[in-house]
Structure 1
Amino acid sequence: MKRFLLFALLSTQLVTAQKLKKADKVVLTNLQTHIGYLADDKLEGRRTGSAGEKLAYEYISAEFIKSGLIAKGDNGSFIQAFEVNEGKQVNPSSHLIINNFDLELEKEYFPFIFSPNASLEAAPSMALRESGTVWFWDLKDKLEENKSNPHFDLTDAIKTKTNEVADKGATGLIIYNTSTIADGLKFEPKAKSELVKIPVLYVTSSIKKKYLYDETAALDIKLKVDIADKKRTGHNVVGYIDNGAANTVILGAHYDHLGYGEDHNSLYTGTTPQIHNGADDNASGTAALIELTKLLKASKFKNNNYLFVSFSGEELGLFGSKYFTEHSTIDLSTANYMINMDMLGRLNDSTHGLTIGGYGTSPVWGQLLTQKDKFFTIKFDSSGSGPSDHTSFYRKDIPVLFFFTGVHGDYHKPSDDADKINYNGELQVVKYVYNIINATDKKGKLAFTKTREAAATGKNSFKVSLGIMPDYTYSGGGVRVDGVSEGKAAQRIGIKAGDIILQLGDIKFTDVQSYMGALGKFNKGDATKVKVKRGNEELVFDIVF
């Protein structure tokens, strides 16, 4: 009976046909206005921390004010700032001067990411390895010795060599390569590694030929390594409707996109940088969020408060939503449920396909929602986690729903523009979400249910799984566990959220990428050990994949 009632509610008009038609036109026009602005070239793709992001959050804040929302950001504003750690950068004060020739950073030399910061002057001879001065090392022999060794790690060899020469009295090490074997070395800003004992720098083969051709000559070396954290600031936009209720419904949509593709998350294959306007991803969800602020402010649904959060940093790994759940501006214990809207703008006019994720996160969803709908062809996904911001709330044991009209050929490409949005289709999604909020208005606080994890997708294919959700915002060494899947290997052996995984078998890793590489070396049935840091304690677990 309850399912029938919501089916009827979701399939009927909100008010009389004549009045709704007028109301629909207003919402439709507003959706076009919002997406048209947010996906305009002048916002340059709304990359987190950029000037375009600022234009976007100022626009969203202004719309929240128009809707009569209460500011719930930092210091009485609508804005909640958070830090994005992008790894490391070589500061401009770094230099390498050989015989008064100041080399050009990146083009002619670079320090390694694992080099300590230091300044020194020396007068070495390349042929003499004397204590208290700079030493030199040609990679040629090492590369040729290992050209057929699939397990050879050049970076590890460089770190080992640097510490060895430091123990023998070297104060710095300059590396070059005179072999015909490409070394592929570069400054890796996101690599995580322990520092070696002395500064270590790489010079190109052209510099070797130009300034280091006479290995018996005395050289005048002045060098400085200055490597620092590279950070930028993202901004969530947070507004609130206070109905004096005990519980709060949270509605969210990320507004950031890819900029010009600087963060290497674009699928564009061209060589000329292009603005990624992100009309569907996710100006569409942001526009829906703005319109729902107006609809809910004017509604008679007073049994919940409503919190609206427009997240940044989603494209980098859910930075904004994770920060919000760790620094919430409301008491999250009062959160009733969270609705996330991501890519609502490409409803197929033939199939009307709408995916609703999070169906299994509360028994109430199964009681209220049905696949039978007069307009949509609905596909339910029970999982509470996935590649969007609802995951951060599911990790806090909050029921979620995730609305999505599907991937298309313009996804993460410069061609995701406002003229391709199905505005009538998005209007229907907005009305559907509104009616769900109506249907839950008198349900009280929804019960939470843990679900299976969403199936992993992407280029990497693994024969085994540890069963963890990595924390992509973690900037330390290893992989911090953000969540543990029910019934998977990590849960069985006792790994917990907050643990930092350091090693699988003999393979150490420093970040998510190297963890994935380590995982790919194991097959189903393999037995090994997992080293984990929990607080100040290191633990070792036995595991069979």
Structure 2
Amino acid sequence: MAQAYICNAFTLYIHSNTARNQFMNKKIFLSLCLLYTTGLRAQNSRQIGAAGGQEALSLKKDISYLSSNELKGRQIGAAGEQMASTYIQNALGKDKLVVSVQTVEFVKLRMATAQCKMAVNILGLDSIAKTFTLFSEYYPLSQSSNKDSITANWVDCGYGIVDKKTGKDDFAGQTIAGQIAVIRTGYFAMDEFPDSLWDEASNLSAKILAATQRGAVGILFIRGNNKIAAPSGSLNRSEKTQNIPVFFYNSTGLFPRAPLTLVSHIRVFKGQGQTVIGYRNNHKKKTIVVCANHDHIGVNEFENSAKVGSQEIHNGANNNASGVASLLALAHSLKGKRYNKNNYLFVSFSGEEMGALGSAEFLQHPPQQLKAKNNPLGKVNYAIHLQALGRLDPDSKLLSISGQGSSPAFHRAIERIQTDTHQLRIAPNAPTETNTNTDSKTASYLLESFAGASIPLLAMSTGINEDDRRPSDDEEKINYWGLLASVDCAKQVIAALNKKGKLPLGKNPSR
């Protein structure tokens, strides 16, 4: 009962912002934090310490700035993301870490230019019989190469279906290599049988893969029939491109038996983000990587908001200002004998909202501090990922910790975590709502990526809620009690593993 009373009082404080009571509120706040930590000592025989109050104030300060309207949602490459990067650099520098920045390049826009061409040649002559009009008659698809020109004979590949289950192969008996594959969208009688066994094999990606594997030098889709929707003419910046032109011709008709010319000329606009790295050198052989991401959705410039069509600022207080604030709290506190058997590398990625660009760049081009002999990541012991830690559910009180299977040492360390179960419970690899959302996909990608580099990784999150990736993910909704407890759990795991040396790899890194 006392714990609940203190928690409610804490919540009242944390949302009180009147200037008149600022000094008194700060004193009350520190007192409440001390009461909370005292209660934890009594119930769990462990200490968070008197610094808990100041840590909570720092968490609030960091989240308040990173999720303020001033930063306009921290979209990668935008001014707000650069401001967040500078803030993180300064915070790490104050803790006397060696700070560096890694540039993350991303594609902002792909746009077809007037230099694109689709034409039918005159048979036997090196001249054009007919040129088609860009956008109204044809257009390049997202999978098309950016710059390419090809003139070749074409071959009718039907619907381009390859399905092992039914034994269907529309490419069978034809020479595809060195030719342009003309493929109809959809599948035969698609409007009459929308749930056909060929539905999965009829998507564009499957057909493109089948044609390229058979040596096609260009791909031209045409309509299967006029009832089948045309593929999008918007060039997806994140789509994997082929090294050949891939076009769509907005007609059901074929062409004369003469060579076709396809010229792909797509302009690519690029931007840059900044991954921030802070290194604490304890002069040990191994290094622990603590990571989060500071970029978010901005004002939905790239239409990745959960609120379709929104142009509002997406402040991303929980996702993932809370993770970055937790990272900064750990950077400040992982000192002394409890934590001195490893070096520490604190990494705040950029570009994660655009498809984990920052973490991919980090693993492909890691900083020199992690290099051991011929292995660029040879000094890494293990990693901890902090994502959306600020909205601990008041009913379930679950902190999800994924990745225990990446090292057997993790399970034993997590079993030793002591918490007030009235305030927080550990849910290792729990099949909660967290595991079906975007944050879970990010965690899963990181688990797989780090496992591929032979690095054990734990991913910590309190899960998502109705505000995730929406303009309503604001600072006043942060559960600071849950955030403090989650940060403390991370400290306990690191302390428990302090003297374990290099952690062994587990057999199930993605669990």
Q: Which runs of 5+ in 2 are unaligned?
A: 1-40, 118-131, 151-181, 209-218, 252-261, 372-376, 432-439
Residue 236 of structure 1 is matched in structure 2 by 275
Match of 1:186 in 2: 232
Per-residue CA deviation, residues 30-70 of structure 1 (Å, 9 max, x unaligned), is: 11111111112232222223332212111111111111111
Report SS of the residue matched to 2:468: coil
**C-alpha contact (below 8 Å) 1:345/1:421 kept by paired residues:** yes
| Residue in structure 1 matching 2:456, options 399, 404, 408 | 399
- Name which of structure 1's ranges 425-434 and 147-156 shifts more when overlaid on structure 2: 147-156
Would you say 1:66 and 2:106 are equivalent positions?
no
Deviation, structure 1 residue 276: 1.9
Deviations along 1:115-149, one digit per CA (max 9) or x if unpaired, are 86569xxxxxxxxxxxxxxxxx9x9xx99997657
- 8 Å CA contact 1:53–1:256 kept in 2: the answer is yes
Shift, 1:29, TM fit: 1.4
Name 1:195's counterpart in structure 2.
244
Distance 1:419 1:247 in 2: 39
Please say if residues 407 and 504 of structure 2, whose CA atoms lie closer than 8 Å, have aligned partners that are also in contact. yes
- 1:182: Cα distance to partner? 6.3
User: What is the 5 A alignment of 1:447-466?
Assistant: 447-451=504-508, 453-454=510-511
Residues in 2 aligned to 1:439 and 1:175: alpha-carbon distance in whole angstroms: 58
Q: Deviations over 1:177-206 (max 9, x none)?
A: 9x974642432433644535xx968689xx
Counterpart position of 1:426: 483
1:256 aligns with 2:256: no
CA shift in 2, pair 1:440/1:453, >3 Å: closer
Task: State how far apart, in whole Å, the 2-side matches of 1:415 and 1:352 are.
Answer: 21
The match for 1:446 among 479, 485, 503 is: 503
Partner of 1:367: 412
What is the one-letter code of the residue matched to 2:402? G
Q: How many residues are paired up?
A: 391
Q: Deviation at 1:258?
A: 2.0
1:50 paired residue number: 78
- Tell me if structure 2 keeps the 8 A contact 1:256–1:314: yes
Moved more, 345-354 or 236-245: 345-354
- Give the distance between the partners of 2:382 and 2:240, measured in 1 at CA: 37
Alpha carbons 1:239, 1:309 under 8 Å: kept: yes
Which whole-Å deviations, capped at 9, do the CAs of 1:396-452 have from their partners, x for residues lacking one?
222222211122111222211111101122112222222322232222222221216
Give the match's secondary structure for 2:110: strand
Distance across 1 between alignment mates of 2:400 and 2:88: 26
Q: Quick one: distance in 2 between partners of 1:242 and 1:363?
A: 26
**Equivalent residue number for residue 379 of structure 1:** 427
- CA drift of 1:239 comes to 0.7
Using the size of structure 2 for normalisation, the TM-score is 0.63
Partners of 1:271 and 1:104 in 2: CA distance: 30
Amino acid corresponding to residue 281 of structure 2 in structure 1: D
The one-letter code sitting in structure 1 at the alignment partner of 2:425 is: T
After superposition, the CA RMSD in angstroms is 4.7
Specify the SS of the correspondent of 1:84.
strand
Contact 1:89 1:228 in 2 (8 A): yes
> 1:367 is paired with a residue of what secondary structure?
helix
Separation of aligned partners in 1, 2:476 and 2:110: 39
Instruction: Give the distance between the partners of 1:452 and 1:305, measured in 2 at CA.
Output: 23
Aligned match for 2:110, one of 89, 92, 116: 89
Is the alpha carbon distance of 1:344 and 1:143 closer, same or farther for their aligned partners in structure 2, counting shifts above 3 Å? closer
**1:256-335 pair list within 5 angstroms:** 256-268=295-307, 270-297=308-335, 301-329=339-367, 330-331=370-371, 332-335=377-380
Match of 1:129 in 2: none
What is the CA–CA distance in structure 2 between the aligned matches of 1:57 and 1:193, rounded to whole Å? 34
- Whether the 8 Å contact between 2:399 and 2:461 is mirrored in structure 1 is yes
Q: Which has the higher contact order (CA 8 A, sep 6+)?
A: 2
1:238 to partner: Cα distance? 0.5
Measure, in 2, the Cα distance between the counterparts of 1:154 and 1:439: 49
Q: CA deviation at 1:252?
A: 0.8
How far did residue 306 of structure 1 move? 0.8
Distance 1:191 1:360 in 2: 31
Q: In percent, how many aligned pairs have the same letter?
A: 31
Measured in 2, the distance between the counterparts of 1:261 and 1:283 equals 17
SS of residue matched to 1:337: strand
- Secondary structure in structure 2 of the residue aligned to 1:320: helix
CA contact (8 A) 2:82 2:273 kept: no
Quote the offset at 1:358 in angstroms: 1.9
What SS does the corresponding residue of 1:226 show, helix, strand or coil? strand
Does the 8 Å CA contact 1:276/1:415 hold for their aligned counterparts?
A: yes
Equivalent residue, structure 2, for 1:349: 394
Q: 1:11 to 1:377 in 2, by over 3 A?
A: farther
CA contact (8 A) 2:407 2:509 kept: no
